[in-house]
Amino acid sequence: MKKTFLVLTIIFLCNPIAVFALGAPPIDISYNDGIYHIVLKGDKIKKRVRFVASDHLVTNREMHQMSRARLTVNAGFFDPKNEKSMSYVVMDKQTIEDPLFNDNLMHNPILRKNLDKIINRTEFRVIQCDNDNSWRYEITPHKSAVDFACHIESSAQGGPLVYPELKLEEEFFIVKKDGKVVRETASVLHKTSRTIIGLKNGDAHILIITDEHPMDLYEVHELCKKLGLDRAMAFDGGSSTSMNYKNKIEVTSKGDGAGRSLKSFLLVY
């Protein structure tokens, strides 16, 4: 059984002292009109990106402090009632969170009927290939195969795909009947804070869209187009939108300042 201290033990094997000795990988952060734009630049930083999950829900700030990461951002969806993940998470080549083990998902007749769509929601992958020892990112449906001689080092599922096209119906974030929306999940059609991750020329771009500039996903789609991203997807948003960078920047959404307790996180060392 996974335990929080086991997850954190694995994290600490990254040895922050060694990282700083080799020179900190570049993280560019800009802020404009309520939106943080974070760019993880270059190939070296790809080895410093990993996804983790906590056995019990913790805030982004708590995970940031425990992991000693340079950057911590909220990741996949979860069920706050039973503290189980609604999204796949892979860490160190191992699947550590599987939504098929979430009883509330499996016992809900509407969700179970649409399980194939939910299970195949978009995920962000850190890929390592043995043939040339290269590292890269991918944004792809969960069931997509990995190239020969390559493996998923770490990943987190979220959704939906936002750019180059929105996959709202295909990933079961909305349901339409007679052309009208009759069901909506994750406030995808409403203005709220968002955590978005995208790709451009091989670099990862993270958008923290704060309460100061809430957006629906159609607006996010247009923003990604304006920024020239190649692909982009959403992680959990709304009150889950959280970011900590060193001890310099903290973003929480619609709370008391401490932030919502969460299940999975993106860490950059």
At a CB cut-off of 8 Å and minimum separation 6, what does 22 contact?
A: none
Nearest to 70 by CA among 34, 4, 19: 19
List, in sequence order, every beta strand (DSSP E) within the chain.
Answer: 27-32, 35-40, 49-59, 71-74, 78-79, 84-85, 89-91, 94-97, 122-129, 134-141, 150-157, 161-163, 174-177, 180-184, 194-200, 203-209, 231-234, 243-245, 249-251, 261-268
Q: State how far the Cα of 162 lies from the Cα of 166, in Å rounded to an integer.
A: 5
Q: What is the per-residue DSSP string for 40-84?
A: E-SSGGGGGEEEEEEEEEEEHHHHHHHHT-SEEEE-S-EETTTTE
Q: State how far the Cα of 196 lies from the Cα of 183, in Å rounded to an integer.
A: 22
Answer positive or negative: Cα dihedral of 29, 78, 83, 239. positive
Mean pLDDT, each 10-residue run in order, the chain (269 residues): 44 39 71 98 96 97 97 98 97 98 96 97 97 96 97 98 98 97 97 98 98 98 98 98 97 84 98
* Confidence (pLDDT) at 254: 84
The residue with tokens 């790709």 is 199
